[in-house]
Structure 1
Amino acid sequence: MTHMQLDLNLLAALDALLEEGSVAGAAARLHVTAPAMSRSLGRIRRTTGDQILVRTGRTMTPTPYAIAVREQVHDLLQQVQGVLAPSRELDLTTLERTFTLRWHDSLVVLGGPALLAEVRRQAPGVRLRFIAESSIDTPGLRRGEVDLEANANRPTQPEIRSDRVAETRQVIVMRRGHPLARAEAVTAARYAEAEHVTISRRGRFDNALDETLARLGLTRRVVATVPTEGAGFEFVRESDLLVTAPESTTHSAVADLGLVLLPLPFELPPAPVYLSWHQRYDTDPAHVWLRDLARTALAGPTGGGNQSTP
């Protein structure tokens, strides 16, 4: 038993070392001291016959062996933790748990309040932590730092599950007195000739919409990019700029701001909404419960697709 316990501790240490790339980072991750983690690294080196991490200047670099086994080590650790986790009947009235949700900001607006209201009604001891999306891809789901993601991106990693829970079409948002504020005034050419603000957490000036315009022989001029829809709406309130945004999340906001919505004058496929999670939570009763509530909240009153992706 002692030998098995030692192996499990080393597996957890190795996973943390490979994820963090430093002894100090791995120690903080596992809530142990740096010297204790250094001793674990020494045992791992003796056990594997590999240095695992080697110092290059002021940083540590993983060896080719460490890079090769990183995913396998992580998967093994998750399997072990799944086997050892006690299986209990879910009692929502006594459940105390905090779930971290990284959703696109428009989806927090669209489905967050309804989700929280239902969670509080069924499980008052549960808290929801909504966090902002990063401007770069982060391995939050795989590292267990995020329980549920919701955005327009279908995950490609095999260990990440996803459901397409809804879709929404894009609409044009402009000020009420805009020269194009009548549907019959908006043509594809006039849309392209206008100046635009795009909404992108990564700061991208173009998106799928521009690819569609290009096929029509048109190019639009994007003068700014902003990270949230709320910011985009403020930019168009007092100008002749246009912003294109998902219809499902704009209706409630634009009326109060004196803005109008108009349909795009060309065909653009609707934007999907994916709910994503790590496969380690597939059979976690509390997570299954939260996923079901999140699907309903994100589908909204109009409903949406629901296609599971393994």
Structure 2
Amino acid sequence: MRYNKLDLNLLVALDALLTECNISRAGERVHLSQPAMSNALSRLRNYFGDDLLVPVGRHMERTPRAEVLREAVRDVLVRIETSVATQPEFDSRDTDRTFKLFVSDYSMEVLIPHVLAIADAMGSRAKLHLRPQSSNPARDLERGEADLLLIPGEWCSAEHPSRVLFDDELVCVVWSGSRHAQQGISIDSYATAGHVAMQPIEINEPAFEQWIQAGVGAPRDVRAAATSFAVLPFLVVGSELIATMHARLARLVEPALPIKRMAVPFPLPPIHQAMQWHKYRNLDPGLVWLRDLMIAAAQRM
């Protein structure tokens, strides 16, 4: 099919090329050989009158025209997929569909087990591909790389619909044999203590780090940083270190460890955990089912 003399099949190739910036990997992405993808790039260059991809050292980079085209082409393909490829009905008991979810380790621990339990009880055959959070979740959603985001409410994009699933609060977790467990935690002892903290890779620090700094009046003295909230309670055992983390997650691991949950010694806003999906997929029956599943899991949790 052609539009304004452009073979629309080339849009798929263009999207792959502008995403991968590599002819071989782009070909693998759309199941084309390297010669076929090279031919597609040549035709695209001829149509747009632009190189689109140019060699820089050992790599290829997008030209300014390609940068402009990148999001526009992805948007068109997402619209087509939503309008044409989406089935009008969805039965989770008779499907081979795989949903791509971007999930924090926190939601993976406290929410996803309930999601899987409910899905299994209803006989669902849908598959969930659980991926870690990225530095730009809104971009992943807009590019169709994620079907659903499970993210803090403040991370939600204003461009797409979202819904808060549940709330949580932050607590301090200490070793049960520490002086903190015996004497309590004041603002002064919190400020002078050593801490273990979650610091994600290539993602902005959690919003609550700013809340904590405002409450204490200075940055925390972080003695150990990990990429997962789930490991923080293990790291405080046998020390005077403090972990500040979600209460729901702390309650899950508390029975298995010699730790104690304690109140943060200054006020902090509640944590809102939300789900977000693409505005073009608001009526996708499969995603409607998945969103309802998340709501049911949050209520059960």
Q: What residue is the counterpart of 1:237 in the other structure?
A: 237
Percent identity (aligned): 32
Are 1:58 and 2:58 an aligned pair? yes
Query: Residues 135-154 of structure 1: matches in 2 within 5 Å?
Result: 136-137=135-136, 139-152=139-152, 154=154
In structure 2, relative to structure 1, the CA distance for the partners of 1:221 and 1:274 (3 Å cut) is same
Q: What residue is the counterpart of 2:188 in the other structure?
A: 189
In structure 2, relative to structure 1, the CA distance for the partners of 1:269 and 1:86 (3 Å cut) is closer
In structure 2, relative to structure 1, the CA distance for the partners of 1:155 and 1:83 (3 Å cut) is same
Q: Is the 8 A contact 1:161 1:279 kept in 2?
A: yes
CA distance in 1, matches of 2:198, 2:118: 30
In structure 2, relative to structure 1, the CA distance for the partners of 1:217 and 1:86 (3 Å cut) is closer
Q: Is the 8 A contact 2:178 2:238 kept in 1?
A: no
CA distance in 1, matches of 2:92, 2:57: 51
Q: Is the 8 A contact 2:156 2:162 kept in 1?
A: no
Unaligned runs of 5+ in 1: 302-310
Q: Match for 2:192: what amino acid?
A: E
Deviates more, 1:285-294 or 1:136-145: 136-145
Q: Match for 2:197: what amino acid?
A: T
CA distance in 1, matches of 2:2, 2:235: 63
4+ residue runs over 6 A deviation: 203-206
Secondary structure of residue in 1 paired with 2:7: helix
Q: What residue is the counterpart of 2:130 in the other structure?
A: 130
Q: What residue is the counterpart of 1:202 in the other structure?
A: 201
CA distance in 2, matches of 1:25, 1:86: 26
Q: Match for 2:60: what amino acid?
A: M
CA distance in 1, matches of 2:21, 2:103: 27
CA distance in 2, matches of 1:269, 1:299: 21
- Deviation, 1:137, is 4.2
- Deviation, 1:32, is 0.8
- Deviation, 1:173, is 0.3
CA distance in 2, matches of 1:137, 1:161: 16
Query: Residues 53-202 of structure 1: matches in 2 within 5 Å?
Result: 53-85=53-85, 87-134=87-134, 136-137=135-136, 139-152=139-152, 154-155=154-155, 157=157, 160-182=160-182, 185-202=184-201
CA distance in 1, matches of 2:54, 2:154: 36
Secondary structure of residue in 1 paired with 2:142: coil
Q: What residue is the counterpart of 2:288 in the other structure?
A: 288
Deviates more, 1:223-232 or 1:148-157: 148-157
TM-score computed with the length of structure 2 as normaliser: 0.88
1:46-74, CA deviations, whole angstroms, 9 ceiling, x for partnerless residues? 21222211222222121111112221111
1:165-195, CA deviations, whole angstroms, 9 ceiling, x for partnerless residues? 222110000111211215x632111111111
Q: Give the root-mean-square deviation of aligned CA atoms.
A: 2.6
Q: What residue is the counterpart of 1:307 in the other structure?
A: none
CA distance in 2, matches of 1:293, 1:175: 36
Q: Match for 1:277: what amino acid?
A: W
TM-score computed with the length of structure 1 as normaliser: 0.86
CA distance in 2, matches of 1:80, 1:229: 39
Unaligned runs of 5+ in 2: none
Q: Is the 8 A contact 1:209 1:268 kept in 2?
A: no
Secondary structure of residue in 1 paired with 2:239: coil
Q: Is the 8 A contact 1:198 1:243 kept in 2?
A: yes
